[in-house]
Amino acid sequence: MQRIFGRNVSFCVMLCCLFISFICVDHFYPTLRISKNIQKIIYDSVTEKAVEKYFTVSTNSKNTLVRLNEPNSHNTVKNISILSQKAVARLTKQELQQIKGYGTSSPIVVKKYKLVFFWNQKAGCTYWKRLLQFIQGVKNKELHVPGRNGLTHLTQFKDSEITEMMFDNSWTKAVFVREPRERVLSAFLEKGLNPARMRDMCRRPAVKSLLEFITLIKTCKDVHWSSQVKLPRHLYKYTWIGKMPDINSYTEKLLTKIGAWNDTVNNYLHSKEQFEKTRPHATSANEKLLQYYNDTKSQDIIFKMYAADYDVFKFDKKYFN
């Protein structure tokens, strides 16, 4: 009898607790930050279906019920298990590593303006690093060494924070790229013809021709001539893509979007000192395109090597002649 009585009491207590919990959720929902676990719920006023846009719902029970306030102010009971089964955007570990980059090549994060900037070596990187220093008031002369250049990099953030940045529309994702043939030629002129650089980067003597350099970089991997596709392809539709010929207009549009464009920045970009630091470095290879790409063989090799770049960034494959 005592056992039966004890079981009945336990069962009644459990029912009372369950009833009280439902009343509390219903009554105190406006003050509970339910959105902390259910982020970016979008309501369709026509179908009245809740769609979870970005993150999965974490719950101890797939059958847990909560009340969600819809725009029409009517509380509707939704089953979290239904929401958690919907297709949601998430990043795999491989994708996260691809986005973060390695070593000194990690994207730059400007938290003040909610900008994630994917830069590329031999694609105006000196220009962009100096500019991103300037809009943040960073005085460091060092540019290319993380931790010493005063810039924040994506590798400094948690995976969960990176995922939120990638899918949160309030964060601007931007990438700046260069036509692969121009970029390879720039790398050849600066690195390939330099004996010390070649020994350091590829452990071999300097090359004698552009075609020899193009053949070499198939096996000698380095960030100065690696692919500029640094994001999973499905993320590029949310990304501002800029190209070398449009660097001036792209700069103004991007900084205007994030709220960093003003007369001070404009004057800085048009200053003689800034021009001398960046413009010659960015255009030295362009002046020699016709001289070095005087056949189709080397260009065809590059078209194949950098097929992803041409596809994602829609570069023209017209021969230089």
Q: Pick the more confident residue, 17 or 93.
A: 93
- pLDDT(242) > 80: yes
What six digits make up the tokens of 116?
Answer: 């994630």
- pLDDT(244) > 70: yes
State percent of the chain over pLDDT 90: 59
H, E, C per residue of the chain: CHHHHHHHHHHHHHHHHHHHHHHHHHHHHHHCCHHHCCCCEEECCCCCCEEECCCCCCCCCCCCEEEEECCCCCEEEEEHHHHHCCCCCCCCHHHHHHHHCCHHHCCEEEHHHCEEEECCCCCCHHHHHHHHHHCCCCCCCCCCCCCCCCCEEHHHCCHHHHHHHHHCCCCEEEEEECCHHHHHHHHHHHHHCCHHHHHHHHCCCCCCCHHHHHHHCCCCCCCCCCCCCCCCHHHHHHEEEEEHHHHHHHHHHHHHHHCCCCHHHHHHHCCHHHHHHHHHHHHCCHHHHHHHCCCCHHHHHHHHHCHHHHHHHCCCCCCCC
What confidence score (pLDDT) does residue 44 get?
37
- pLDDT(53) > 70: no
What confidence score (pLDDT) does residue 71 get?
45
- Residue 80's pLDDT band (cuts 50, 70, 90): very low
Reported as a single tens digit per residue, the pLDDT across 28-47 is: 444 444 343 333 333 333 33
Mean pLDDT on 283-308: 87
Reported as a single tens digit per residue, the pLDDT across 186-234 is: 999 999 999 999 999 999 999 999 999 999 999 999 999 999 999 999 9
What confidence score (pLDDT) does residue 123 get?
94
Reported as a single tens digit per residue, the pLDDT across 144-196 is: 777 788 899 999 999 999 999 999 999 999 999 999 999 999 999 999 999 99
Mean pLDDT on 273-297: 71
Report strand pairing: 75-79 vs 50-52: unpaired
